[in-house]
Structure 1
Amino acid sequence: MNITKVNHKKALPNKKERHKLFGSVDPGPKTKPVDKHKMTDLQNTKKDFIFDLDAVGIAKVKHPIQISSSLAPTFQTTIGEFTLTSSLDKDSKGTNMSRFTEQLHEYHTSNFVVSINGLKKFTKELAQRLKQKDACVEVTFPWFFERKGPSSELTGLNHADATMKVHYDVVYGYDTEVTLAGMITTLCPCSKEISEYSAHNQRGNVTMQVSLAEDYDENQVDWKEALLEAAESNASARIHPVLKRPDEKMVTEQAFENPRFVEDIVRLVAADLYELDYIKKFKVSCRNEESIHLHDAIASVTYDKTNEE
């Protein structure tokens, strides 16, 4: 038996009527000016607003960026998260927020490659654009680098989280700080010592926060590679994206031959950073994600080489 299906299509109000149904109203009378030059600019109000501000601006601004690297891939596009600020004198009510993103977009459209020198130029121009005595830019991004298996030499991509921060002051000049956070393998010395065989290991997260000297030349030394090497060369073993069985054997044995407490890691990394002339001061911290405990193990060391002068 054939059954004829009858479709009863719902009759909808048009879109404008639907909007009204859900609360939209017709525009009211407009009395305020639409010409920018006739609009009241509250942010530019000049009075005594009691306190100077250390910083005012915008944060969590995600933007595509280009970076260079001494490790392959030597030129890469990644995503940067920006914080852009300047100080504000107490005689100004507010800053011009749009000028921060306006300048960022201008640099982006001119194929800006994020670098120490580039950010120095950026902050100085930003201070001038804002008509302030200083400006600061901070950008955090994932940095990718090739890593080969120690035996197979099969290549994959690892990554670390990098941060560049440049502060410009019309009187004091530039202050440059960089940070790198990367993963390593650590094997517990105590576990190795007390056990008949084997030892527990864990993944360690090493963070190095460094102030660079004024004469640091990024064309001679890539700070990203230098900090990565300081962390990884002092680990029990490096992290690899691709490991075949012969690679795994080598990495496992290397970790067993180089046991490290979290305290050992920060001291060894600090020693490497201390020996780099272009580093003025640093903070090294390590967080081990323990494999046989529910807690993490942490340690940190801070040192200012300028106090020795």
Structure 2
Amino acid sequence: MTRKIELPPKKERHKLFGSVEPGLKLKPTEKEKMPDLQNTKKDFLFTIDAVGISNVKQPIIIESELEPNQQTTIATFKMTSKISYDAKGTNMSRFTEQLETYRQNGGFILSIKNLYDFTKELAERLKQKDASIEVTFPWFYERKGPSSQLTGLNHSEAKLTVHYEEGIGFSSSASLTCAVTTLCPCSKEISEYSAHNQRGYVTMNVEFTEDYHEEVDWKKALLEAAETNASAMIHPVLKRPDEKMVTETAYENPRFVEDMVRLVAADLYELSFVKAFQVECRNEESIHLHDAIASLSYRK
């Protein structure tokens, strides 16, 4: 039989579970009268390279050369700045204040130009000589089945980073991780029938040239560098004629992880707006419990 409960008033229930009456409050409540520990000036031994906030989630607006041409997604922000040895701390609230200013002004439209403006304004708000912002987000793009032309959405993990320093200027870089299909050349060579394949993940980290202003969509360019060098692309919607074409394409284009990083690197080398890059491929092996990996770096 269920026990009947006589509930005390809510305030009494709170006391039952540990709440106490407010104590005597003697410290000032006006901002001007409160001690400001963060802005204490003294010799604190070391300059800090980066201090700020991370794991801040906000909606952003992305423009893309691939459909959908404009999309809203959720981004994760990291914002930092240096502080010198004679400053105890930074003003943490000013990072989120800066982000909120952009959100209220029509939404945060992600572009290199906007990030240039953002980081310079952030440094000024912090009263520092530098500021950095890193924005990580899923980017969606339409993909058609090769035979049926039926569409669906794929997505890749993207990151855009901008650094500003007074007297030096701006630097920017990006990263894209996308999924591809790879078919094992060795398996194809030695087997009487077929060959094993796997899902591979290609990660490309690139540094942009100083004169790059997104005349070319970096997201599309990096995606093409990975997908066009793979055994086959990943598709969200495949009918039987599509599946036949995809599996045959993979069989005709076998790739080791070593092949992938070299081929992708060649495409990145040809991009005029990229001055340095790092490429990694990781295959989730279908006949092993381990992954196969390869990576290379190059500076033009």
So what's the TM-score if we normalise by structure 2? Answer: 0.98
Q: Identify the residue that residue 180 of structure 1 maps to in structure 2.
A: 176
Q: Does 1:102 align with 2:97?
A: yes
What's the offset of the Cα at 1:217? 2.4
Q: Does 1:154 align with 2:150?
A: yes
What's the offset of the Cα at 1:171? 1.9
Residues 49-83 of structure 1, C-alpha deviations (whole Å, 9 max, x = no match): 00000000001111111111110001000000010
What's the offset of the Cα at 1:227? 0.1
Q: Identify the residue that residue 260 of structure 2 maps to in structure 1.
A: 265
What's the offset of the Cα at 1:138? 0.1
What's the offset of the Cα at 1:105? 1.0
Pairs within 5 Å for 1:287-298: 287-298=282-293
Residues 77-111 of structure 1, C-alpha deviations (whole Å, 9 max, x = no match): 00000100000111100000000011101101112
| Aligned sequence identity (%) | 69
What's the offset of the Cα at 1:8? 8.0
Q: Identify the residue that residue 78 of structure 2 maps to in structure 1.
A: 83
8 Å CA contact 2:112–2:213 kept in 1: the answer is no
Structure 1 unaligned blocks of 5 or more: 1-5
Residues 109-168 of structure 1, C-alpha deviations (whole Å, 9 max, x = no match): 112301111001000000000000100000100000000000000000000000000000
State the SS of the aligned residue for 2:289: coil
Letter in 1 for 2:96: T
State the SS of the aligned residue for 2:110: coil
Letter in 2 for 1:132: Q
Distance 1:77 1:278 in 2: 26
Q: Please point out which of 123, 141, 148 is paired with 2:119.
A: 123
Q: Identify the residue that residue 138 of structure 2 maps to in structure 1.
A: 142
Distance 1:172 1:186 in 2: 43
Q: Please point out which of 52, 69, 77 is paired with 1:74.
A: 69
Q: Identify the residue that residue 223 of structure 1 maps to in structure 2.
A: 218
Distance 2:34 2:19 in 1: 27
Distance 1:286 1:173 in 2: 33
Distance 2:267 2:193 in 1: 32
State the SS of the aligned residue for 1:241: coil
Q: Please point out which of 193, 213, 228 is paired with 1:197.
A: 193
Q: Does 1:55 align with 2:50?
A: yes
Distance 1:167 1:79 in 2: 22
Distance 1:196 1:299 in 2: 28
Q: Identify the residue that residue 281 of structure 1 maps to in structure 2.
A: 276
Structure 2 unaligned blocks of 5 or more: none
Letter in 2 for 1:54: D
Structure 1 segments, 4+ long, off by >2 Å, are 6-10
8 Å CA contact 2:113–2:213 kept in 1: the answer is no
* Aligned residues between the structures: 299
Q: Identify the residue that residue 3 of structure 1 maps to in structure 2.
A: none
Q: Does 1:251 align with 2:246?
A: yes
Larger radius of gyration: 1
Q: Identify the residue that residue 18 of structure 1 maps to in structure 2.
A: 13
* Aligned Cα root-mean-square deviation (Å): 1.1
8 Å CA contact 2:48–2:85 kept in 1: the answer is yes
Q: Identify the residue that residue 93 of structure 1 maps to in structure 2.
A: 88
